C-alpha cells in the first residue's frame, strides 16, 4: 500500500514581508496607486482651469495646505521609486540586437534616463516660460 | 582539537507518521568547502539515515537538489556552509510544491507544464534527407541559447508568488522553454505556441516580480523571456484585430 500523502503548505498572508525582494516589489506595485492619485489631482486642475480663473486659483490654493504638500512629497518619492525600479527592469523587455550581439543592458537603462532628463527639462521649460 | 560545528535546521515530513511538517536540528562539523548537499549527506551517513533529499550530479547540472536555504531557493550542491557560517542554516523543501517527504517535493505539475508548451522543433516543410541538415548561423543560435540552458530545477517556481497564488499559471521555466523554441530559426511552431502564450495562464499571469531570474542558477532569465513574449502576444492581438483568421 502506498504511504504517499503529499503535504501542501499554505501561503502565509504576509509572504511579501518575509523576503526583501518581495517587499520591494509590493512597494513598486503599491506606488502606482499614488501615481494614479497624482494624475487625478492634475486632471482635476485641468478641469478647474476650464471653469475659469477663480476656480483654478481655488485649486492652486488648495495645493498649498500642509497636507497637500506632504502628500505631494510622498507621491514624488514613490513616483521616483517606481521610475527607477522600472528603468532597471526595462532591458528585460527589450530585444535589441546589434551586429549579432544583444545590446548591453546598461545602454538600454542609460537611454531611458536620458529620455527622462530630456522630457523633464522640456516640460520645465514649457511650464516656466 | 575542538571542532567547529554548524547547526542545520531541516523541515521534516514523514507522510506515514506526521500529520504536518516539523523542524529537526542537526549539528554538523564545519569546513568551508562543505556544500549544503554534502552536509545533508553527512547527516544521512552519521546522524539520521531516515532523512530524504534528492541529488545526483553534485555539480549544478542535473537540477535535482533544489531546496529552500534560509528561505531562498537554491541548489544544495551550489551553496556552501561558508556562505552562512557561523549562522544557522535552515533547509526546507522547495516552496510552492507539495512535500512528498522531508526535502523531496512533488514536481508533477512542473513537468506537465514543461510538456505543455510543445518543447520540440516543429519544422515547416519537411526537408528531404538528401538536402542535408537544417543549418543555423551562430547569430541565429544566440537568439535562443540562453533560454536553452535550463536544467529544470524548479527554483524559479519556488520564487514565483504568482505561481504560489495560482497553480494554473504556466510559470517561468516552461515559458522560457517555449521562448527557446519560438526563437529557434529552424522552428515553425510559433502560431501553435502563441495560443498558449496568449492565455491568462500564459504570459499574462505574470506581474513581473522578477525574482525567478534572480534565483535561476543558470542565468536563463525567465523573466526576460516572459516580458518578450508579452510583447509578441500584444503584437499577435493587434494583428488579429485587423486580420482575423
Ligand atoms: S529557468 Fe532556471 S531556475 Fe527555472 S527551472 Fe530552469 S534552470 Fe531552474
Ligand atoms: S545535485 Fe545535480 S544540481 Fe545539485
SS3 B189: coil
In this predicted structure, what is the pLDDT of residue B127?
Answer: 83
- Same domain, yes or no: B135 and B116: yes
Distances (CA, A) of A112 to A17, A88, A96, A106, B209: 30, 9, 14, 10, 20
Query: Helix, strand, or coil here: B87?
Result: coil
Q: A5-45: per-residue pLDDT in tens? A: 999 999 999 999 999 999 999 999 999 999 999 999 999 99
Q: What is the CATH number of the domain that holds B163?
A: 1.10.1060.10
Are B117 and B193 in contact by the 8 Å Cβ rule? The answer is yes
Confidence of residue B124 (pLDDT cuts 50, 70, 90): confident
Lowest mean pLDDT among A73-77, B80-84, B123-127, B156-160: B123-127
Q: Is B64 in the pocket of ligand 2 (CB under 6 A)?
A: yes
Chain B contact set for A15 (CB, 8 A): 161, 164
> How do residues B105-115 score in pLDDT, each as one tens digit?
999 999 999 99
By residue range, what is the domain housing residue B211?
Answer: 108-242
**Do B234 and B140 sit in the same domain of this protein?**
yes
Pairing between strand B89-92 and A101-102?
A: unpaired
Domain boundary among B86, B105, B124: B105
Is B113 found in the same domain as B48?
A: no
For residue B2, what pLDDT band results from cuts at 50, 70 and 90? Answer: low
Residue B1 has pLDDT above 60, yes or no: no
Three-class SS state of B68: strand
Question: Is the model's pLDDT at B34 over the cut of 60?
Answer: yes
Phi-psi region of B206 (alpha: psi -120 to 50; beta: other; left: phi over 0): beta
End residue of a domain, out of B105, B131, B149? B105
Closest protein CA for atom 3 of ligand 1: B216
**Cis before B86 (ω within 30):** yes
Three-state secondary structure call for residue B110: helix
B210 has a pLDDT exceeding 60: yes
Q: Tell me, what CATH number does B15's domain have?
A: 3.10.20.30
Percent pLDDT > 70 in chain A is 100
B99 and B121 fall within a common domain: no
Q: What is the CA radius of gyration of chain B?
A: 21
Q: Ligand 1 pocket test: pick from B79, B144, B216, B217 the residue with the most ligand atoms within 8 Å of its Cβ.
A: B216
Q: Which among B57, B160, B172 is the best mutation to test ligand 1's pocket, defined by most ligand atoms within 8 Å of the CB?
A: B172
Cβ proximity of B217 and B225 under 8 Å: no
In angstroms and rounded to an integer, the radius of gyration of the C-alpha atoms of chain A is 22
Partner A contacted by B104 (CB < 8 A) = no
Residues B121 and B216 in one domain: yes
Q: Which one, of B132, B150, B126, lies nearest residue B225 by Cα?
A: B150
Residue B188's contacts (CB-CB under 8 Å, 6 or more residues apart) are B122, B123, B124
Query: pLDDT tens, B211-238?
Result: 999 999 999 999 999 999 999 999 989 9
Q: Decide if A93 and B230 are in contact by the 8 Å CB cutoff.
A: yes
Average pLDDT over residues A61-67: 92
| Cross-chain residue pair B100–A89, CB shorter than 8 Å | no
Q: Which residue of B has its CA nearest to A23?
A: B209
With a pLDDT cut of 90, the percent of chain B lying above it is 90
User: Are residues B208 and B194 part of one domain?
Assistant: yes
Residue of chain A whose alpha carbon sits nearest to that of B21: A7
A10 touches chain B (CB under 8 A): no
Residues B99 and B114 in one domain: no
3-state secondary structure of B67: strand
Which is nearest to B195 in space by CA: B229, B222, B158, B171?
Answer: B229
* CATH of segment(s) A16-93: 1.20.1300.10
- The answer to whether the CB atoms of B139 and A100 lie below 8 A apart is yes
ipTM exceeding the 0.85 mark = yes
pLDDT of residue A42: 92
pLDDT at B15 over 60: yes
Which range, A96-100, B16-20, B133-137, has the best average confidence (pLDDT)?
B16-20
* pTM for this predicted structure: 0.92
Residue of B nearest to A3 (CA): B16
Residue to test with chain B: of A3, A17, A93, A102, most B Cβ within 10 A: A93
**Gap from B15 CA to chain A (nearest CA, Å):** 5
Q: Is the pLDDT assigned to residue A75 strictly greater than 80?
A: yes
Q: Which of A60, A83, A68, A58 has its CA nearest to residue A38?
A: A68
Taking the Cβ of residue B228 and every Cβ of chain A, the question of whether any pair is shorter than 8 Å is answered with: yes
Q: What is the pLDDT of residue B58?
A: 96
Q: What's residue B57's pLDDT?
A: 97
Average pLDDT rounded to a whole number, residues A54-73:
93
> In the numeric block, which cell numbers belong to residue B77?
550542491
Q: Give the total number of structural domains in chain B.
A: 2
pLDDT for residue B151 is more than 90: yes
Task: Dump pLDDT digits (tens) for B46-66.
Answer: 999 999 999 999 999 999 999
Query: Among B117, B156, B211, which residue has the most ligand 1 atoms within 8 Å of its CB, making it the best to mutate?
Result: B156
Boundary (domain end) residue, out of B105, B134, B165: B105
pLDDT higher than 90, residue B182: yes
Q: What is the pLDDT of residue B245?
A: 62
Percent of chain A with pLDDT over 90: 89
Residue B168 scores a pLDDT above 70: yes
Query: Chain B residue closest to A9 (CA)?
Result: B98
Same domain, B82 and B169: no
Count A/B contacts: CB-CB distance under 8 Å: 66
Amino acid at each position: 500500500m502506498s504511504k504517499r500523502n503529499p503535504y501542501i503548505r499554505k501561503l502565509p498572508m504576509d509572504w511579501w514581508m518575509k523576503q526583501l525582494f518581495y517587499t520591494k516589489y509590493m512597494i513598486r506595485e503599491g506606488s502606482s496607486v499614488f501615481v494614479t492619485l497624482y494624475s487625478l489631482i492634475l486632471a482635476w486642475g485641468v478641469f478647474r482651469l476650464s471653469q475659469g480663473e477663480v476656480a483654478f486659483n481655488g485649486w492652486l490654493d488648495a495645493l498649498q495646505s500642509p497636507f497637500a504638500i506632504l502628500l505631494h512629497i510622498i507621491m514624488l518619492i514613490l513616483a521616483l521609486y517606481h521610475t527607477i525600479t522600472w528603468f532597471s527592469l526595462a532591458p528585460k523587455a527589450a530585444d535589441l540586437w546589434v551586429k549579432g550581439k544583444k545590446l548591453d543592458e546598461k545602454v538600454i537603462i542609460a537611454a531611458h534616463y536620458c529620455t527622462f532628463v530630456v522630457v523633464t527639462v522640456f516640460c520645465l521649460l514649457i511650464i516656466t516660460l | 582539537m575542538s571542532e567547529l560545528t554548524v547547526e542545520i535546521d531541516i523541515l521534516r515530513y514523514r507522510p506515514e507518521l506526521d500529520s504536518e511538517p516539523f523542524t529537526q536540528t542537526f549539528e554538523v562539523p564545519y569546513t568551508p568547502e562543505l556544500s549544503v548537499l554534502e552536509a545533508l549527506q553527512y547527516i544521512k551517513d552519521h546522524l539520521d539515515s531516515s532523512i530524504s533529499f534528492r541529488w545526483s550530479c553534485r555539480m549544478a547540472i542535473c537540477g535535482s537538489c533544489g531546496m529552500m536555504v534560509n528561505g531562498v531557493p537554491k541548489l544544495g550542491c551550489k551553496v556552501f556552509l561558508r556562505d552562512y557560517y557561523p549562522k544557522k542554516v535552515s533547509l526546507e523543501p522547495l516552496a510552492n510544491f507539495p512535500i512528498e517527504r522531508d526535502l523531496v517535493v512533488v514536481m508533477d505539475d512542473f513537468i506537465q507544464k514543461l510538456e505543455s508548451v510543445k518543447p520540440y522543433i516543429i519544422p515547416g516543410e519537411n526537408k528531404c534527407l538528401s538536402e542535408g541538415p537544417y543549418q543555423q548561423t551562430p547569430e541565429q543560435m544566440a537568439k535562443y541559447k540562453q533560454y536553452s540552458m535550463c536544467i529544470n530545477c524548479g527554483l524559479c517556481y519556488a520564487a514565483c508568488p504568482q505561481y504560489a497564488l495560482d497553480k494554473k499559471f504556466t510559470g517561468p521555466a516552461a515559458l522560457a522553454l517555449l521562448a527557446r523554441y519560438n526563437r529557434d530559426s529552424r522552428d515553425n511552431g510559433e502560431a501553435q505556441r502563441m495560443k498558449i502564450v496568449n492565455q491568462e495562464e500564459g504570459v499574462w499571469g505574470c506581474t513581473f516580480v522578477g525574482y525567478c531570474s534572480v534565483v535561476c542558477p543558470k542565468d536563463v532569465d525567465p523573466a526576460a523571456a516572459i516580458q518578450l513574449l508579452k510583447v509578441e502576444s500584444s503584437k499577435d492581438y493587434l494583428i488579429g484585430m485587423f486580420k482575423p483568421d
